[in-house]
Amino acid sequence: MSDVEEDDCEELPEGLVQRRAAFDIGSGSTKLMIADVDVETGQLGDIVHASERTVKYAFDWKTHGVLSDAVQAEGIKVLHALRTEVLASGCTAYTAVATEVFRKAPNGAAFLQRVRAELGLEIALVSQEEEAQIGFRTAVAVGQRGRAATLAWDSGGGSFQLSREVAAGEAGAPPGLRTYVGALGASVATAAMIEHVQQRRLAETASP
């Protein structure tokens, strides 16, 4: 968890509940949630702000082979607007993660470095296994049903993950989180439908 600069956010009183922000910079959209979090249990309290902005990074990468200047500019604009929401919210800390398309696009990592340089936003590029862990913890925090009763399905623009926790002795497996991951998100499936099934060029076809 990265600390927000002191000048940017007014700190909340010390206690078990803190106001935190999370950025999910995905392959098809960018999400922000700002919420009061019980730091002892990880449960969400009041959600102060939640938004999702469409930025089709994966579709753009599939079309051009790299992240184009246009989609990068759109991404910077969206992240600047969301960062402004964070700075006005009274949060004490934030975290930001980027997923599949930034692992695969040749200039994906360079774009994240550009975001750091221009916006001062530190972004962690996570693996698919880490995505599955984050998805499971999010489902537990939002669903409030407990770990044993939770099955998480995280379907994004570039990939998907299924995850659940296995108890000791279940199916003869050791206890812990079990995951299944696949590189078939919405944008990837769209590109495959257009190029391989319909035999058309993605750059010239907006939709199947």
pLDDT classification of 204: cutoffs 50, 70, 90: confident
Q: Which whole number is the average pLDDT over 193-207?
A: 82
For residue range 81-93, what is the model confidence (pLDDT) as tens digits?
Answer: 999 999 999 888 8
Number of other residues whose CB lies within 10 A of the CB of residue 175: 11
Q: What percent of the chain has pLDDT over 70?
A: 90
Inter-residue contact 3 to 19 (CB < 8 Å): no
Higher local confidence (pLDDT), 2 or 17: 17
- One-letter amino acid at 87 equals L
d(CA 194, CA 180): 26
Question: Is residue 15 over pLDDT 70?
Answer: no
Inter-residue contact 151 to 164 (CB < 8 Å): yes
Name the β-bridge partners of 160. Answer: 155, 182
For residue range 16-75, what is the model confidence (pLDDT) as tens digits?
Answer: 888 999 999 998 899 999 999 888 777 778 888 999 999 999 989 989 999 999 999 999
Higher local confidence (pLDDT), 1 or 43: 43
- pLDDT for position 171: 64
Inter-residue contact 35 to 19 (CB < 8 Å): yes
Helix (H) or strand (E) holding 179: strand 176-182
- pLDDT for position 2: 44
Supply the mean pLDDT for the chain. Answer: 84
Higher local confidence (pLDDT), 6 or 151: 151
Question: Is residue 172 over pLDDT 90?
Answer: no
- pLDDT for position 128: 82
For residue range 179-193, what is the model confidence (pLDDT) as tens digits?
Answer: 888 777 777 787 788
**Secondary structure (3-state) at 88:** coil
Lowest model confidence (mean pLDDT) among 60-64, 124-128, 166-170:
166-170
Name the β-bridge partners of 152. Answer: 163
